[in-house]
Structure 1
Amino acid sequence: MKILIADDEPLVRIGIKSSYDWKQAGMEIVGEAADGEETLRLLEQLKPDVLLLDIKMPQKDGIDVLTEMRQRGMTAKVVILSSFDDFVHVKKAMKLGAADYFHKPSMDVLEIVDVLRKIKNQIEEGRTADTGASGTAALNRETILRDLIGGRTENASSTRLTENNLYAVVFSVKKYAHTLKRYSGESAAFLQGTILNLLGELLSKEPETEYVRLQDNLFAILASHAESKSVQAAFARVNDLVYLVHSSLKRYVNIDTVFGISEPCHAFSSLRQAVDQARQALELKFYHPNEPLFYYRSRNLDDESMQAKVQALIAAMKTGLKEEKYEEFATSLAEWEEFVRSRECMTENDVKKVYEGLLFMLADDEDYGESRAGADELDDFTECSGYYHARFNEMLKARISGKSKDYSPLIRNIVQYLETHYREDISLALLGDTFHASPNYISRLFKQEVGRGLFDYLNHVRIRKAKELLKDYKYKIYEIAELVGFHSQVHFAIVFNKYEGMSPTDFRKELG
């Protein structure tokens, strides 16, 4: 699978390229672009399967690139790279068909690889389905339905659907991660296969009905009702289908499901919009976890005033953390949660990305993975709030208690050493030799007294010094990285992003 990286930050491109053995994974980075115009040119020239696309670029930004890709009929899958508070642009990108997105300050290369592998599998499945043994086109049922949902209607007559009272229903398994644990020794594919087999049995005798798996834990049922011109009768039939599937999966597989239902439409060309509506309806489960069924209704996801309020609250939380004004952070966090919960104006994925971004800013590098253990099993807003509040409180309590008391002589000396020797290579072994103490003891005592890990504190000092140097334009960014103790400009950019929520280049631009 061929991948093109489009980002105006050289450090990001270098970091992605050098952070994984792409060849071993069956992938190849075929090119890099630093602006929108170059991206479009390389898309035409290199024909990549996947584009990793930065939202904010010169010449043309990510939205402009996506829009022009669709106008030119380019089929590369697009994965967006953005800041974790840049939701307005991300929403536009997803509406234009982006497959997924990552927030650059907290993105993990293994998460990127996981998404790219899924895309690779989808591409290979599509190629297999499109080519028969003789090499001629041989579209199967699943491919036809995926095409139909994607807006390609040329093979719609091969389905059992008609263009009258068309509905889209999507559903997922509640507590999916927990449910998978029942199938020890089996993969997620086993559960998905079981669900698809049962759907086949249940719907085989139902006229004008089709089904297809959209994602790991997302299934679609498409139904029409040609016999009746009554919307009410078609609506009642769809509800009967939902009850049949829901009750059967509970009875035979012992799993709970939740459903989203679209408004009716009357043309195959409208099915893509209907599936989008059903997915938006299903999204409401995040705010109402005890409800089994949701009907599409207009939400506040595109309300500019509400999204501006959300952005302002996220910015306030970031500022509170960066400036270590933790009471202001807690106040902004509570206000953001109340605003989002009451207005339901963010998607589940966006809410979780905000929590993840805040956790990344708070956690020590060495503790970040451990601090988010169990986060993948969170299903609703209340669970997310309780989970992340507990972790935020634990980290903030350690920092505040560390600030409010005097350090022991050993830790006071180490803090002074870090403040003056931050440019040098510093290790626990070096500190142990310098202060005649066990490295493990130093590490444990430092975190206990200061409220943050030793290297987290050291990075904090280095970034503080770097911000001062960035005000002086005689220094290039790579020189500043060296002056504050980073031997890798890539590492400097990653750490700076963690503490400031932006790249060193963007920070300098904001200085004017």
Structure 2
Amino acid sequence: MKAIIVDDEKHVREGLLLLADWDALGIKTVLEAADGDEAMNLISEHQPEIIFTDMSMPRCDGIDLLRWIYESNLSPKVIVVSGYDDFKYTKNAIMYGSFDYILKPINPTELNETLSRAVVEWRQQNSARLSTLENTRAVLDHLLTNSLTQSSLPDRVTSQLNVQACKPYIIALFPMAGIVQAAFEGNAEQALETVIETCNDFLSKGNHQGVAFQNMNKDEEMVVLFWESHDVRKVIDLVVQNVKDKTNRTCAVVVGRSSDQLKDAYEFANNALATLDLRHLTVQANEGDHLDLVYLFDYSEEVKWSIQSGSIEQLERILDDIFGRIENIGHFTFGQLEIWEAQFAILKDHWLKEYEINLIDSVYRGNHYWDHNGQFSFSLFKEEKKKEFYELMKLVYDCKFLTEKNTVQMIEEYVRQNYQKDIKLQEIADRFFLSREYISRKFKQEYHETITDYVTKIRIEKAKELLGNPFLKIYEIAETVGYHNDKYFIKVFKKREGQTPKEYRSSLQSH
């Protein structure tokens, strides 16, 4: 096996080279690249199975590299190496199929555990790919799936389908999640096999120019590719009716615009799917229309603090606010659903890693938001998403309890980090979703003084450190520790220390 490390910082590359147990995992060659451009050339030439990449790099960054890997239809396991400050970049990682990410500074144990999982999963998936390719139908599905990124169908496909002229192309997409849940009790393989067989039987008997297949790069998606069809929508209606007769369920479907370029036809269908309103499956936005979307990342701080506080009431209030905003928009599209799922996965992973909770895969997955008819239910969606957040809250809160990092200690940490600011008790109460009275009482019990006195103590401690620098003026020190009036600072300092800042500095110099 081969691996490549992509990072513009040489010491990070050297660290990964030293810390990873390459030989034990069967990785014999480890390449290095300083940016995305250099990495693309090396990946094209050597086809490494494992890729480590930073996100923030000059010229060609990690996002561009991930996009290129995704669009090139490559199948390595990509591990993002990210600092907390780079977390804004990692939301793109999941969009392009990254395997995992590790945080800087690199922990050797976490590095090797992640690398080991990546190697095992690549080998399993590669074995599965080779096994699947032995089946003729699966081979065709793979070839058709790969063709979705090409300009036209390859000769091998047209010969197997026994067709010649295949333009223009029109693609219809059938997202299968609803039928999988409602008609096949979550068995996606059986659902796809049944529906694809039904579609292809209908297309062949009706002498229609088209083929149905499973998109091997997406979960629970069936694609119907048409060529030389003059009445595709009529055919699609008949296909949907056949599926309904077979499964007793109506499935969602979108049809893209025709194109002489197969990849463009697929992109048109994907754009149509992204704008399909899940609550009204016949309603689809016009091409080019702007649709408002709600992003979980916009609420990440509020949700994080409520989860850490353990307050179900506060968490529910935030979630109800988010759901209310979605309802006010008036639509809930497939694009919105994909954004929600992807961003929740990133936030969940980030928070669990922050608290060193190694139960990522066991957290409840709330995807049962399809009713008994296979139709999307917004009320079920809200229930499922709340369950996910409640379980996440329980894991985080239990971990905090076990490590004795309680809410009051987090407030102390917040106060210490923001001592230079004019911190208001109400601001703390709003941030931690607790009453001012509760915070005042608990803080004094834990630290034996009020928050105001505690802030003063921190400021004076910091001022005493700064007074050791003879080049700093008294008014500069006062400003640095949060006092905008140096005379008031001198007064507070003398009251607490029994001498003025100048006298304290003199005593330091005499010692």
- Category of TM-score, reference length = shorter chain: 0.5 to 0.7
* Displacement of 1:261: 1.2
Cα distance between partner residues in 2 of 1:394 and 1:76: 33
Cα distance between partner residues in 1 of 2:382 and 2:166: 44
* Displacement of 1:209: 1.3
* Displacement of 1:14: 8.7
SS at match of 1:163: coil
Where in structure 2 are the equivalents of 1:233-244 lying within 5 Å?
233-244=231-242
The alpha-carbon distance between structure 1 residues 21 and 319, as it changes in their structure 2 partners (threshold 3 A), is: farther
- Asked whether 1:224 is paired with 2:227, we answer yes
Cα distance between partner residues in 1 of 2:395 and 2:140: 57
- Asked whether 1:245 is paired with 2:243, we answer yes
* Displacement of 1:126: 8.8
**Alignment correspondent of 1:478:** none
- Which residue, out of 254, 260, 267, partners 2:253? 260
**Alignment correspondent of 1:167:** 171
Contact (CA 8 Å) 1:36, 1:60: kept in 2 or not?
yes
The alpha-carbon distance between structure 1 residues 168 and 17, as it changes in their structure 2 partners (threshold 3 A), is: farther
Aligned AA (1:373)? Y
Aligned AA (2:202)? L
Contact (CA 8 Å) 2:63, 2:92: kept in 1 or not?
no
Contact (CA 8 Å) 1:5, 1:51: kept in 2 or not?
yes
Query: Bigger CA drift: 356-365 or 60-69?
Result: 356-365
Q: Compute the TM-score of the two structures, normalised by the length of structure 1.
A: 0.54
Contact (CA 8 Å) 1:165, 1:224: kept in 2 or not?
yes
Contact (CA 8 Å) 2:94, 2:346: kept in 1 or not?
no
**Alignment correspondent of 2:147:** 148
**Alignment correspondent of 1:352:** 341
**Alignment correspondent of 1:212:** 213
**Alignment correspondent of 1:272:** 266
Cα distance between partner residues in 2 of 1:314 and 1:464: 21
* Displacement of 1:28: 7.9
**Alignment correspondent of 2:382:** 385
Q: Which blocks of at least 5 consecutive residues in structure 2 are unaligned? A: 104-109, 371-375, 420-511
* Displacement of 1:220: 1.0
Contact (CA 8 Å) 1:22, 1:29: kept in 2 or not?
no
* Displacement of 1:351: 1.2
- Asked whether 1:124 is paired with 2:130, we answer yes
**Alignment correspondent of 1:62:** 62
Q: Compute the TM-score of the two structures, normalised by the length of structure 2.
A: 0.54
Q: Which blocks of at least 5 consecutive residues in structure 1 are unaligned? A: 131-138, 251-255, 401-446, 472-512
The alpha-carbon distance between structure 1 residues 123 and 242, as it changes in their structure 2 partners (threshold 3 A), is: same
Contact (CA 8 Å) 1:317, 1:329: kept in 2 or not?
yes
The alpha-carbon distance between structure 1 residues 466 and 56, as it changes in their structure 2 partners (threshold 3 A), is: farther
Structure 1 residues 126-173: Cα deviation after superposition (integer angstroms, max 9, x where no partner): 97699xxxxxxxx96434422331224152654547324723232314
- Asked whether 1:453 is paired with 2:401, we answer yes
Cα distance between partner residues in 1 of 2:22 and 2:174: 37
Aligned-residue Cα RMSD (Å) equals 5.7
Aligned AA (2:144)? L
Aligned AA (2:268)? A
Aligned AA (2:267)? Q
Contact (CA 8 Å) 2:309, 2:407: kept in 1 or not?
no
The alpha-carbon distance between structure 1 residues 2 and 334, as it changes in their structure 2 partners (threshold 3 A), is: farther
Where in structure 2 are the equivalents of 1:28-427 lying within 5 Å?
30-31=30-31, 35-36=35-36, 39-40=39-40, 42-44=42-44, 46-49=46-49, 51=51, 53-58=53-58, 60-66=60-66, 75=74, 77=76, 79=78, 81=80, 90=91, 94=95, 98-99=96-97, 116=122, 120=126, 124=130, 141-153=140-152, 155=154, 157-158=158-159, 159=161, 160=163, 162-164=166-168, 166-174=170-178, 176=180, 189-206=189-206, 207-215=208-216, 216-226=219-229, 228=230, 233-250=231-248, 256=249, 258-269=251-262, 270-277=264-271, 279-280=273-274, 284-285=277-278, 288=279, 295=284, 297-298=286-287, 311-318=297-304, 332-340=318-326, 342-343=328-329, 344=332, 347-356=336-345, 361=351, 368=359, 372-375=363-366, 377=368, 382-390=379-387, 392=389
Q: Relative contact order: is structure 1 or structure 2 higher (C-alpha 8 Å, sep ≥ 6)?
A: 1
* Displacement of 1:174: 1.8
* Displacement of 1:238: 2.3
Contact (CA 8 Å) 2:49, 2:75: kept in 1 or not?
yes
Cα distance between partner residues in 2 of 1:277 and 1:212: 19
Cα distance between partner residues in 1 of 2:320 and 2:85: 18
* Displacement of 1:111: 8.4
SS at match of 2:405: helix
Structure with max Cα Rg: 2
Contact (CA 8 Å) 2:5, 2:52: kept in 1 or not?
yes
Q: Percent identity?
A: 15
